[in-house]
Amino acid sequence: MTTSATSIRMDDDLKQQVQAKLEALGLNFNTFVVMASKQLVAQNKLPFDTTVPETYDKQLAFLQTELDRGLYDLEHHRDQAKPLAQVAEYRLD
């Protein structure tokens, strides 16, 4: 098996924090990256839990509410419908 060098850019403070945690575990950064990479290949997913930032969830909920409101209005107030351009202008303000 051949190997190749890989370089990454990382914030200096983050790098120091990561190295300190890995040293406490008896690992170095290279070993950690290889371990995480092997687990990604073996599991076919990220080898750690991930979550969507709350701000994204709030934006998605807002958009869903707006979509629901629009669909309701379309179904129940068709006679009061506004041109799309007018709605888009209002939403951008």
Show the domain range for 78.
Answer: 54-92
Residue 23 has a pLDDT of 93
User: Residues with Cβ < 8 Å from 41, sequence gap 6 or more?
Assistant: none
As given in the structure block, the two tokens for residue 66 are 């707006």
Residue 5 resides in a domain: no
Q: What is the DSSP string of 18-86?
A: HHHHHHHTT--HHHHHHHHHHHHHHHTS-SS-----HHHHHHHHHHHHHHHHHHHHHHH-GGG---HHH
As given in the structure block, the two tokens for residue 56 are 């994204």
What is the number of structural domains in the chain?
2
Q: Give 38-92 pLDDT, tens digit per residue.
A: 999 999 998 988 776 677 778 888 888 888 887 777 777 777 767 777 766 766 6
Q: Give 3-12 pLDDT, tens digit per residue.
A: 999 999 999 9
Residue 6 resides in a domain: no
